[in-house]
Amino acid sequence: MSAYPSNLWSIPLLVVIPIIVAVVVNFIYNRSRLIKIISIVSAVCLALIASLSSYGYHWFTGQPALRPETLTFTFDPGFPAWRLALEFYFGPLQQVMIFVMSLILIFVVAVASSGLTKRQGPYMSMIFLLFASAAIIIMVNDLYHLWIAVEIGSLVVAGVVVGSGTSVSHKAALKYTFFSALSGAGLAIALALILGLTGYSNISDAIRYLQSVNLGEMSIILYVAFAFFVLSWIYAGGLAPIHPLKSEVYGASFPHGTAMLQTQSKLMLVAIGIVMLQIFGMLPFVREVMLAISIITMMLGVVMALIQTDFRWILAYLIVSHSGLVTVGISLGTTEGLVGGIFQAVNDVIYMTVLLLCCEALYYFGGKTSTRNSLGLAKRAPWLGMAVILGTMAASGIPPFNGFQSELILIQASLKAGLPEVAAVILMVSVTTFIALFRAVYRLFLKPPETSEPVAEVKVPRSLYIGLWVFVALTLIIGVYPNIVVSFITPVAQAVSIPWYL
């Protein structure tokens, strides 16, 4: 048996720690101070592990792989084999995505523990399980456990939505749970077809097999598997035509909960999209189908955002629209497209977290998020007004913020692929995002209030303001020095990219 010098002990902690925390905080239920300490300390530990861990593999149970041609055992991932162990891979792409997600988790649990007055334990457990499901999807290297993680993630999303405790959230969670079952079913069928076609459930081995064997007429099975994989991709990420369901989930949740939900969703889109690109990318019309879905999602999301009259729902539809920006880059499949799409996912979760934390602050100023209200909050809370304006500029792709850098890469990738119409749609989405957001920002923050009623003093949690300015700073730092993130993404993009044939 040839041993492979990896099996890193730090990698499974990114999944095990949040699961243990979920169990513990649910058990202590409403002991708010203890829940807050455990949650924040655990989230900080996850960020440290993600930033300090070495790159490599971990095989749960330490089960070796059986090489079918020689009937020998090996841990070496370079050989096609029948792998019975749950295999995780942690590389530069996984590092940057999980670190950003854990950074968002730190401030989400801090804000949640400051604002919630009851059922803190169960709600916080859902937040940590949401993190765990996304971490599995980002790192897992076999289709079977990818399917399990997607199923768990769908159920946990419903739990986070229900946590807001309104009739709207209960309705949204029920609808999403019912329809998201199609996502898991689609992925299960795709898994069965790929397993039957290649004999491997390990993603790397299945890809290696498909790239080395001429399937001939059996390629029709691969097309069917692609169709079911696309179904899962659409439901997991909230792409068109089920974007209203995902938007309803975002709009019905607490804004801090939505920050974690949209992070999970966009990183899932990247992880599943890369798997799709590697397995099906060389088939004719596959990337065209993915690109069409992405463009429709971008356009429908931003148009729906324009007609909303509530800041929460404007953000909900813009999150969906910008999910389309992420998947456009993945769908192009070129090195530039993949860099732009993955970079857009990282940037998007950061600047949307800024805007969602600003929306969370509105709950402390009376809970009015409708743009029909003129609150004049920039005068009452100038730092909050400045933060929401800077977040709007980042989301609209205005330099020197991070959104500009990733959208510029996507536009250049589209032009290089000979698709100027895609570049035009990206520009349209950027401009329309600014219009939709600034209209809401003007009414809620900049326009003087319509009444002269005395204003009560409002105390906003310090954790909310700290989180707000940490992420505002990140939008500027990444905007000025994009290589901080791009350097992690580029090697992966070069390894899995496919030329765009005109």
Q: Is residue 37 part of a domain?
A: no
CA distance 330 to 332: 6
DSSP string, 163-201: TT-SHHHHHHHHHHHHHHHHHHHHHHHHHHHHHHHHS--
Residue 494 CB-density burial (10 A; 0-12 exposed, 13-18 middle, 19+ buried): exposed
Q: Is residue 250 part of a domain?
A: no
Q: What mean pLDDT is reported for the chain? A: 89
Return the higher-pLDDT residue of 2 and 242.
242
On the question of pLDDT at 455 being above 80, the answer is no
Name every residue whose Cβ is closer than 8 Å to that of residue 168 and which is 6 or more positions away in sequence.
251, 252
Q: Which domain holds residue 429?
A: 303-502
Average pLDDT over residues 371-382: 82
Average pLDDT over residues 9-20: 93
Q: Is residue 336 part of a domain?
A: yes
On the question of pLDDT at 352 being above 60, the answer is yes
User: Residue 294's pLDDT is what?
Assistant: 94
Q: Is residue 140 part of a domain?
A: no
Q: Is residue 7 part of a domain?
A: no
* Amino acid letter, residue 77: P
Number of domains in the chain: 1
* Amino acid letter, residue 343: F
Confidence grade of residue 319 (pLDDT, cut at 50, 70, 90): very high
Average pLDDT over residues 60-81: 74
Average pLDDT over residues 465-483: 95
Q: Is residue 407 part of a domain?
A: yes
On the question of pLDDT at 2 being above 50, the answer is no
Q: Is residue 501 part of a domain?
A: yes
Confidence grade of residue 68 (pLDDT, cut at 50, 70, 90): confident
Taking only the tens place, the pLDDT of each residue in 24-55 is 998 887 788 899 999 999 999 999 999 999 99
Q: Is residue 118 part of a domain?
A: no
Cα dist. 206→141, 143, 211 in Å? 10, 9, 9
Taking only the tens place, the pLDDT of each residue in 175-214 is 888 877 777 788 889 999 998 888 888 888 888 888 888 8
CA distance 173 to 441: 28
Average pLDDT over residues 145-167: 88
Taking only the tens place, the pLDDT of each residue in 74-109 is 777 777 777 777 889 999 999 999 999 999 999 999
User: Residue 501's pLDDT is what?
Assistant: 63
Whether the bond between 400 and the residue before it is cis, its omega within 30 degrees of 0, is yes
Return the higher-pLDDT residue of 296 and 213.
296
CA distance 434 to 139: 34
On the question of pLDDT at 262 being above 60, the answer is yes
Name the pTM for this structure. Answer: 0.94
